[in-house]
């Protein structure tokens, strides 16, 4: 398969699945303003995924639409990282997950803007503005949790322990990605990972949170192997298209 | 009669679906407008936010408006150069304020993090942020500590 298609698809899948997951909180958020904030972020993710799917469909050139790619693939064909599909959990867990992802996206898009591929560069530049805002929002909250009550500190600590082993999956590469990086079409994955670790370490020090000592990282992201939660989220995501084939808004 | 000279004027009749006091030209969404032939126009628009639902309406509105004049409009969406709130005209900023929405500052949002926003009603800068996100992707919610009214702030983007 075309490496550029794989790569674009992984960015599209990340944002689609994360958007779907966060969207579950619509009407369920911890309080009105945060409910709106989380669904705003979810909507940004869905918008970004739409742009990436459109481009992926164009690269694939099989006459498929962005909707076909988003709604009509099988579980193993999705290349999203496992972090994006994990359950929302409590508020600290949700916010930390979005924080980890925002740091990743901020670094990724900043680098991807330099891509020699005009379309990827344009989508990256557009999305970066949105992601910076998500980062501001979530890092403010994480800092507040870390400096808050015993309850908020404990919950944040649990969230860090719960999510840490999935963070490495964000940097897992798709087939052919290394070659694309050599051609400077996409950023170097290792470099993104280093920058991510550095930023999170600095932020954590500033927040007063410790990074877990365990070096264990879940494998399987971006290979089509997903967590046990993925089948359920996909089921809900694809329900309308499978029940009413070709339905359009 | 539709001609190259009045294309933008015609497009100015289309309001933003979510903020009807400003139109798509002063919002900076229309990037190019040209007559291809006597009965065909080509319009290039730039999306505001990746997921702004208003973009679908705007595209339909453009096609409909020209169809009423017997002209076929081809609408193309172009991401780059990316849309920025800096493109909103001064006139439109004032319209936003009168409507009750504090217009966006110029530049990046990070440069204005701790700058108080001005209440669109009484002009006080003694205001507080209620939520970083609002009813639409482009807005945040604030409240004035002097006149106590809540208001929307159009985020700089």
Contacts with A, B 7-46, CB within 8 Å: none
Mean pLDDT by 10 residues, chain B (157 residues): 92 93 95 95 94 89 96 94 95 96 90 89 96 92 96 94
Of the candidates B50, B110, B113, which has its C-beta nearest A48's C-beta? B50
Chain A residue numbers touching B82 (CB-CB < 8 A)? 122, 125-126, 129
List pLDDT tens digits, range A161-201. Answer: 999 999 999 999 999 999 999 999 999 999 999 999 999 99
Length of chain B: 157
Task: Answer whether A132 sits within 8 Å of B79, measured CB to CB.
Answer: no
pTM value?
Answer: 0.94
Taking the C-alpha atoms of residue A210 and residue A229, their distance in angstroms, rounded to an integer, is: 28
- What residues have CB less than 8 Å from B17, skipping those under 6 apart? B54, B57, B58, B61
B contacts of A115 (beta carbons < 8 Å)? none
Residues of B in contact with A45 (CB under 8 A): 51
For B83, nearest residue in chain A (alpha carbons)? A126
Q: Which of A40, A46, A127 sits opposite B133 (nearest CB)?
A: A40
How far B152 CA lies from chain A's nearest CA (Å)? 13
Q: Is A55 in contact with A122 (CB distance < 8 Å)?
A: no
From the list A36, A46, A121, the residue facing B131 with the nearest CB is: A36
CA distances from B42 to A30, A183, B59, B83, B98 (A): 46, 35, 12, 19, 33
| ipTM value | 0.90
Query: Is B114 in CB contact (< 8 Å) with chain A?
Result: no
Report the distance separating Cα A183 and Cα A181, nearest Å: 5
Q: What pLDDT, in 10s, does the model give residues A63-73?
A: 999 999 999 99
What is the per-residue pLDDT for B115? 87
The yes-or-no verdict on residue A117 having pLDDT over 90 is yes
- Asked if B32 and B41 count as a contact pair (C-beta separation under 8 A), the reply is no
Task: For an interface test with A, give the residue of B46, B48, B50 to mutate (most A CBs within 10 A).
Answer: B50
């Amino acid at each position: 398969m075309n490496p550029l298609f794989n790569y674009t698809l992984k960015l599209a899948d990340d944002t689609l699945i994360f958007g779907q997951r966060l969207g579950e909180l619509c009407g369920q958020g911890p309080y009105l303003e945060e409910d709106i904030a989380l669904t705003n972020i979810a909507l940004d993710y869905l918008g970004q995924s739409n742009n990436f799917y459109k481009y992926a469909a164009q690269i694939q050139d099989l006459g498929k639409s962005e909707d076909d790619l988003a709604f009509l693939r099988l579980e193993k064909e999705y290349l999203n990282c496992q972090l994006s599909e994990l359950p929302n959990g409590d508020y600290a867990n949700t916010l930390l997950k979005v924080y980890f992802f925002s740091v990743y996206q901020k670094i990724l898009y900043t680098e991807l803007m330099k891509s020699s591929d005009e379309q990827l560069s344009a989508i990256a530049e557009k999305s970066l503005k949105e992601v910076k805002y998500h980062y501001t929002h979530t890092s403010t909250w994480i800092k507040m949790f870390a400096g808050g009550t015993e309850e908020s500190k404990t919950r944040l600590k649990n969230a860090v322990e719960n999510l840490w082993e999935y963070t490495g999956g964000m940097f897992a590469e798709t087939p052919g990605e290394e070659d694309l990086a050599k051609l400077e079409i996409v950023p170097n994955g290792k470099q993104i990972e280093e920058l991510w670790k550095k930023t999170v370490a600095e932020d954590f020090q500033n927040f007063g949170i410790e990074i877990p000592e365990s070096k264990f990282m879940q494998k399987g992201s971006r290979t089509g192997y997903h967590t046990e939660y993925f089948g359920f989220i996909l089921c809900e995501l694809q329900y309308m298209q499978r029940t009413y084939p070709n339905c359009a808004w | 009669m539709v001609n190259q000279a009045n294309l933008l004027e015609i497009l100015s009749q289309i309001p933003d679906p979510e903020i009807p006091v400003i139109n798509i030209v002063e919002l900076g969404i229309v990037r190019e407008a040209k007559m291809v032939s006597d009965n065909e126009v080509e319009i290039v628009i730039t999306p505001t936010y990746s997921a702004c639902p208003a973009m679908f309406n705007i595209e339909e509105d453009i096609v409909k408006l020209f169809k009423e004049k017997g002209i076929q409009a081809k609408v193309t969406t172009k991401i780059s150069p990316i849309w920025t709130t800096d493109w909103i005209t001064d006139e439109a900023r004032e319209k936003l304020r009168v409507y009750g929405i504090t217009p966006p500052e110029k530049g990046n949002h990070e440069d204005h993090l701790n700058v108080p926003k001005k209440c669109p009603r009484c002009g006080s800068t003694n205001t507080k942020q209620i939520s970083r996100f609002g009813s639409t992707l482009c807005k945040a919610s604030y409240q004035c500590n002097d006149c106590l009214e809540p208001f929307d702030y159009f985020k700089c983007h």
